[in-house]
Amino acid sequence: MTEPRSPDPPNSDNASITQAAFTDLPDTKRVSSKRAMTDSEISKTSNKRLADVLRDPKKHLGTWTPQLHGLELSLTRITDLDAENRLVIIGIRNSTTSNLRLVQGSPELQIQTLDKDGNSLLTSKLDIRYLETTAFEGLLLPGSTTFHALVYKAPTLGTNQKIRVVVAQSNAADAPISAALNGSK
């Protein structure tokens, strides 16, 4: 039996080129993409993430906004659940000495369009796909913090757009507190 020979002599220009071996791979997707999560998977993931934040809020939440009408906000980083869905946990703190009640539909996500000077031109509501909260009927006791897990379908944003979370309480419904989501510019 003879050994396989290189077709080119050792001193030729082609001798330094590495020879490759090829094989057939089973039919698999070569594009790595997350599959869409089911509603039950979204619920389970949201509850787990919410529990993590409840165990250690200082570790997971960002800085608190300045107080406005007795409310302060803090947000987690955005979590990609799949190609379409995003999750954010919002902490809402009552910094007053009286009970506060959130307006129905709060917290709300909005897409805000800004002009070149940073002034708001247009806001549009972003639908929330799933909501899990620790607030009983929107009630915030004095000095307490409630947490809200929001899952939304990630929109395509323009260069002058960002996503904001907006929260209003019933005694100041016309002056909601808001904060930009991390990662939305």
Run of H or E residues at 168: none
Q: What is the pLDDT of residues 26-72, one digit of tens each?
A: 544 444 456 788 888 999 999 999 999 999 999 999 999 999 999 99
The amino acid at 180: A
Half-sphere exposure of 113 (CA within 13 A, CB side): 10
- Provide the whole-model pTM: 0.76
68 phi, psi to nearest 5 deg: -140, 115
Position 172 in a domain: yes
Mean pLDDT to the nearest integer, 83-104: 93
| Segments in the chain forming alpha helices (H) | 39-55, 57-60
Q: Kindly state whether residue 91 falls inside one of the protein's structural domains.
A: yes
How many domains, in total, are found in the chain?
Answer: 1
Q: Identify the domain containing residue 115 by its residue range.
A: 38-180
The two tokens of residue 79 are 């979590």
Residue 28 pLDDT? 43
Confidence tier at 11 by pLDDT (50, 70, 90): low
The better pLDDT of the pair 135, 13 is held by 135
First to last CA, the chain: 68
The whole-chain average pLDDT of the chain stands at 83
Residue 175's CB is within 10 A of a number of other CB atoms, namely 11
Residue 47 lies in a domain: yes
The CATH number assigned to the domain holding 86 equals 2.60.40.10
- Which of 4-13, 55-64, 118-127 is predicted least confidently? 4-13
Residue 80 lies in a domain: yes
What is residue 90's DSSP assignment?
Answer: E
